[in-house]
Chains A and B, each alone.
Chain A
């Protein structure tokens, strides 16, 4: 947690709402990306990320500071993602994800296009994972959290999160392996 966050939060609680922009600027990239990776839709991710910041602001009085503000914010965002997914639940079957994209993207003139295609494929593969596996692998590999941080954030035991991450990695390997041929 940044050393200034206690004072910023207290100032917000006192009614100086304009100062909350510092926290929004600081964490919008993380929250927006987590939301996008979880729901796979930019517009929905934008709504979820905005709603997360607004909900966090409304609940600042309840934030006790026992966890990092970023973790608390992240757990709010993940809850909103789960609610969103429950409402939609369009399951992407594993065999719907096909085509072939070589792994050596970015090393040739078509690199940009291939990188975009690969990013799309990764998102499709993430969409195909069960929600619990998806959030574990996003936090572990895309946000770079360790298992202890994930445990605090998700309120799930680190051992369980390891199993979920391992299974998610295996599933992602199979899904991406369909178009990412190994040399």
Chain B
């Protein structure tokens, strides 16, 4: 009986050999009690598999997105610390102290900006204009996201050409960059015409572009 039950379960798991299945058939056909047992087990599995799915509340995604921890990106926390809005209780002494502090901090920031500022000009200096192209005649919007724009879907929006081709020029310094196209803000696809593809470590593939010194 126990041996039969084991074969029942193997059959339900789809792991019984053809020989075991033949044996199972002959057993259940010759023994009404075992047939009932097997039918009951099969019905149980079927009932579970066909059991209706519970519909997810419509607001689920909105609720999750609203509860995500904010500003987890490196640098953003510090930015908020400096510039986030706060409600302060104050008096005149505090106001003077804050004003003095602001002047000092402002001066320091100005000096630092002069010394270390990275302007668009210096960023594009020695950079090559790399053109990304994707043929997507039915797309409403296309962007390229990659190492060079921190994988932002809004960083490098592409322009639609009359022939269904989408293009954008991105200034890139010599080096190697991973990237993907983002169609309609949702669908991520690798560049079908990329020179090289690289495993992204998550089971997918990134397109890769090499920008040379020339």
Contact = CB atoms under 8 A, between A and B. Distances in A.
B122 interface: no
B47 A182 contact: no
Contact of B65 (A20, A46, A165): A20
A63 B111 CA distance: 41
B129 to A, nearest CB: 24
B61 interface: yes
Interface stretch (B66-74, B82-90, B112-120, B161-169): B66-74
A69 B186 CA distance: 17
A141 interface: yes
Contacts of B67: 50, 54
B153 interface: yes
A142 to B, nearest CB: 6
Interface stretch (B33-41, B101-109, B131-139): B33-41
Given A6-B204, A173-B41, A142 B49 contact: yes
Most buried by B among A2, A25, A169: A169
Taking chain A's interface residues, is the majority helix, strand, or loop, or is none over half, making it mixed? helix
Nearest to B186: A22
Nearest to A171: B44
Interface stretch (B16-24, B51-59, B91-99): B51-59
Given A122-B51, A141-B45, A169-B41, A24 B202 contact: no
Given A17-B68, A24-B65, A49-B60, 18 more contacts: A3-B205, A4-B187, A5-B204, A8-B188, A9-B202, A18-B65, A28-B61, A29-B53, A32-B60, A42-B54, A50-B63, A53-B64, A65-B200, A68-B203, A122-B47, A122-B51, A141-B49, A162-B9
28 contacts: A1-B203, A3-B190, A5-B204, A15-B73, A15-B74, A16-B152, A17-B68, A20-B65, A20-B68, A21-B61, A24-B65, A32-B54, A45-B54, A46-B60, A49-B60, A54-B64, A64-B201, A65-B200, A103-B43, A141-B45, A141-B48, A141-B49, A142-B51, A162-B13, A169-B12, A169-B45, A173-B44, A177-B40
Interface of A: 1-11, 14-22, 24-25, 28-29, 32-33, 36, 42, 45-46, 49-50, 53-54, 57-58, 64-65, 68-69, 103, 115, 118-119, 122, 137, 140-142, 144, 147, 162, 165-166, 169-170, 172-173, 176-177, 180, 182
